Amino acid sequence: MKIGFVGVGAMAKAIIQGLLKAQIGPASDILVHSAHQANYEPYAQKYGLTPIASNQELVSQSDLVVLAVVPQQLEAVMKEIADSLTTKKALISIVSGVSLQRLEELSSYDQPILRTLPNINAEYGQGMTAVVANSNLNGSLLSQAKTVFTATGTIIDLPEEQFPVFSAISGSAVAYIDYFIDVLSRAGVKYGLNKQIATQIAAQTTLGSANSLIESKDTPANLIDQVCSPGGDTIAGLLAMEQNGLLNAVIKGIDATIEKSTGNNKTI
């Protein structure tokens, strides 16, 4: 299965690295092209990918086509590749804010399309990706298209109207969670740990807590209660965080993220 990437920016590279780590096929079966030859050719050479000289040629040679350009470039790129697309290959979009309807308008109303919203953790096989398919994409071709993201993490089927919320609590939240880990590590430094050790402790604790929540299939509230003994230091810390506005700050942060996304990057 040859997977072609139209565009080789940060998110495309994260997915490619995740695919390479997952070893779902030879590295040479990943085809790449972008507007910047000095970017994609050395990258392809470094990892054994196949550089392609044009977008049209890349689409013709690929079984799955991953559209990984910025929204401002989308219309021009789609004019280049529309004639090379066929109903036998899926077009996979990771372009932020572009609806299935718009993708159909720019390609064909018969084109099988998967709209996705991945996050940067795909590079390490820990990605979280929202997906939605149009009516033309089904059966084995849909399963094949989803493989790109199941190989690099977890996927969830969501309606398009919920993509902005997903983006806030999955895409943008990668930075928010890293910020929280950094805050925990700085607290450790305050009390005598060096930053590297404090960061390692905070990061592993965050990872372990997330895995425990997923594996237990329990609610966060119940797991919190298991740690908070009556009159203990954990409940004292939680109450202090709440009194200082942690809950409100997080909600306000998500509100701002969604407002910015839906205001400046409306689905087209």
CB atoms under 10 Å from CB of 160, counted, come to: 14
Do 107 and 228 fall within a single domain? Answer: no
Q: Is residue 186 packed enough to be buried (19+ CB in 10 Å), middle (13-18) or exposed (0-12)?
A: middle
Say which CATH number the domain at 175 has. 1.10.3730.10
Are 33 and 111 contained in the same domain?
yes
Last residue of a domain, one of 128, 144, 167: 167
Predicted confidence pLDDT, tens digits, the chain (268 residues): 999 999 999 999 999 999 999 999 999 999 999 988 888 999 999 999 999 999 999 999 999 999 999 999 999 999 999 999 999 999 999 999 999 999 999 999 999 999 999 999 999 999 999 999 999 999 999 999 999 999 999 999 999 999 999 999 999 999 999 999 999 999 999 999 999 999 999 999 999 999 999 999 999 999 999 999 999 999 999 999 999 999 999 999 999 999 988 876 555 6
Q: Answer yes or no: do 162 and 176 share one domain.
A: no
* Among 136, 138, 60, 133, residue whose Cα is nearest residue 93: 133
Instruction: Please give the residue range of the domain that contains residue 257.
Output: 171-264
Nearest to 120 by CA among 15, 9, 4, 206: 15
Pair 163, 222 in one domain: no
Number of compact structural domains in the chain? 2
Count Cα neighbours of 161 within 13 Å in the Cβ-side half-sphere: 0
Helix (H, G, I), strand (E, B) or coil at 113: strand
Q: Where are the alpha helices (DSSP H) in the chain?
A: 10-22, 37-47, 55-61, 74-81, 100-106, 139-150, 163-166, 173-190, 195-216, 220-227, 233-243, 246-264
Tell me the pTM: 0.90
The answer to whether residues 89 and 62 touch, using CB atoms and an 8 Å cutoff, is yes
